[in-house]
A and B are shown apart, each in its own frame.
Chain A
């Protein structure tokens, strides 16, 4: 039998694997992020939160992981764009009557749109917090991230943008979490239902936790 050689990462399944792996890596970052966010609930004028933010901004290990995070994000987004273009080419003539929600969930078919919303949100989010923090570190100054939080989340339109970002994240995860395991080839009669229900609750809980921060600050519940 002839052996057709092809670069693994250029194959459809190689790309799927990369999407799944980078996706799960980005999920691990969300857990760290939401834990730091939760520090505001000590309600101590941001002392705990700022201490955690200071650690994240100065710890060398975190600095290295941050670079990995950006690489992961870029890989995930660029790959998704390439796959989407390829998939559009695979059906040049569309159906007059689309399938709708009969055989699949709307959010499973809308990962590109949800991901694009997330990316747009990230631009705003990084401009709000990441850039000022970096500027402070670069100029060797202390940065009061908590004060920044209060300022941003006192504006209703920022709270609105954050809600859109967080809800997009929730639906993106709702499909993406369990989908990543399938892409890695992990599908099992016993464990897949567990992964699916874990992914479901994980997506909902992380969405609520992220959403709670701008809302409680906007309402002035955090002193």
Chain B
């Protein structure tokens, strides 16, 4: 084993399909470089399982650079592992010590059913977006940006909300499995900009209604979502969503 490399015990949730009951299985990995990402460590484990003729662990991943939001892993009681403001692919093995036991679970929420092992179905988010997470624009060329003056603070706040990658860490970490940080970011990014004004009222009502229908829990303002969000989406967005929703109900 080269210097600084680690031997680790992993307890990983294995579940054949949505209907099956899963359980935590224990695996050993050896000679793990501290420079590996958490997902690369999983690649090593899967190679090991394939060589032994066992079923590899299903886990979601795509960009491996922290922008796609696929790598949903609940590691040792925290969404995306022990560091803040990162996704699982941005978590390096140097965050762990030789001999550590690491428990890896899928996102847990009724609205995010497990597909297999660590992969969950997050299409509830897509259905919420389809209810109003868009703007209606005329086709044709984009007009000159200076035609629409937007105050810098509004542009910044909209941009910060738009940084949401829809990974679902907010739902996973919330004790109530509430999706309010996600929905509020999507409502905020459009409510703050002139292009978002046309559907502003119906957007707030319809997206919240869909969120409720999907079976997410209610927000109790513990603030855990804000702490675990890889993109640092703030609770201010949830307050804005509340205002948008109240105003929408007063208007219509």
Residue numbers of A with Cβ under 8 A of B are 1-6, 8, 11-17, 83, 86-87, 89-100, 102-105, 108-109, 111, 175, 178-179, 182-187, 189
Report the minimum CB–CB distance from B227 to chain A (whole Å).
4
The reply to whether A87 and B221 form a contact with Cβ atoms under 8 Å apart is: no
Which residues of A have CB within 8 Å of B231?
none
Nearest A residue (CB) for B153? A189
| Residues A4 and B205 in contact, CB atoms below 8 Å apart | yes
For the A-B complex with A99-B175, A104-B223 known, give 10 more contacts whose Cβ atoms are closer than 8 Å.
A1-B206, A3-B252, A11-B209, A13-B208, A90-B110, A96-B11, A103-B222, A108-B221, A175-B221, A189-B236
Can you give 10 contacting A-B residue pairs, CB < 8 Å? Answer: A1-B206, A4-B131, A11-B212, A91-B176, A92-B110, A97-B103, A99-B77, A103-B173, A103-B227, A185-B243
Contacts of B212 in A (CB 8 A): 6, 11-12
Cβ-closest 9 pairs across A and B: A187-B239, A90-B217, A185-B242, A185-B243, A87-B176, A103-B227, A97-B77, A104-B222, A90-B177
A12→B211 contact, CB < 8 A: yes
Contact between chains at A179 and B105 (CB < 8 Å)? no
Chain A residues with Cβ under 8 A from B246's Cβ? 13, 17, 185
Residues of B within 8 A of A91 (CB): 108-110, 175-177, 217
Q: Chain B 68-95 against A: per-residue CB contact (8 Å), 1 yes, 0 no?
A: 0000001011100000000000000000
Nearest-Cβ distance from residue A21 to partner chain B, whole angstroms:
11
Interface residues on B, range: 35 or more
By beta carbon, the residue of chain B nearest A3 is B202
Residues of B within 8 A of A (CB): 11, 24, 74, 76-78, 103, 105, 108-111, 131-132, 173, 175-178, 180, 199, 202-203, 205-206, 208-212, 215-224, 227-228, 235-236, 238-243, 245-246, 249, 252
Secondary structure dominating the interface of B: mixed
* Minimal beta-carbon separation of A13 from chain B (angstroms): 5
The answer to whether B78 touches A102, judged by C-beta atoms less than 8 angstroms apart, is yes
Q: Which residues of B contact A93 (CB under 8 A)?
A: 108
Query: Does A97 lie within 8 Å of B76, measured CB to CB?
Result: yes
Report the Cα distance A111→B176, complex, angstroms. Answer: 12
B residues near A187, Cβ cutoff 8 Å: 235-236, 238-240
Which among B110, B221, B243 is the interface contact of A89 at CB below 8 angstroms? B110
Task: Give the complex CA separation of A102 and B212 in angstroms.
Answer: 27
- Report how far A178 CA is from B239 CA in the complex, Å: 12
Indicate if the CB atoms of A87 and B177 lie closer than 8 Å.
Answer: yes
CA of A2 to CA of B220, assembled, Å: 29
Contact A83 B218 (CB under 8 A): yes
Using Cβ atoms and an 8 Å threshold, which residues of chain A touch B110?
89-92
Q: Point out the residue from A11, A17, A182 that lies within 8 Å of B238, measured CB to CB.
A: A182
Query: Which residues of chain A are near B216, meaning CB under 8 Å?
Result: 12, 90
Minimal beta-carbon separation of A171 from chain B (angstroms): 13
User: Is A2 in contact with B218, judged by CB distance below 8 angstroms?
Assistant: no
Contact B221 A186 (CB under 8 A): no
A90–B215 touching, CB < 8 Å = yes
Is B222 within 8 A of A12, CB to CB? Answer: no
Q: Within 8 Å CB of A90, what residues of B?
A: 109-111, 176-178, 215-217
Residue in A closest to B234 when the chains form the complex, CB atoms? A187
* The residue from A2, A95, A99, A182 contacting B221, defined by CB atoms under 8 A apart: A182
Q: Which residues of A contact B176 (CB under 8 A)?
A: 87, 90-91
Which of A12, A92, A99 has a CB less than 8 Å from the CB of B219?
Answer: A12
Q: Which residues of A contact B236 (CB under 8 A)?
A: 187, 189
Q: Is the CB of B220 within 8 A of A4?
A: no
Please give, as numbers and ranges, the residues of chain A lying within 8 Å of B202 by CB-CB distance: 1, 3
What's the nearest-Cβ distance from chain A to residue B9, in Å? 14
Q: Which residues of A contact B218 (CB under 8 A)?
A: 12, 15-16, 83, 86-87
Q: How distant is the Cα of A93 from the Cα of B106 in the complex, in angstroms?
A: 10
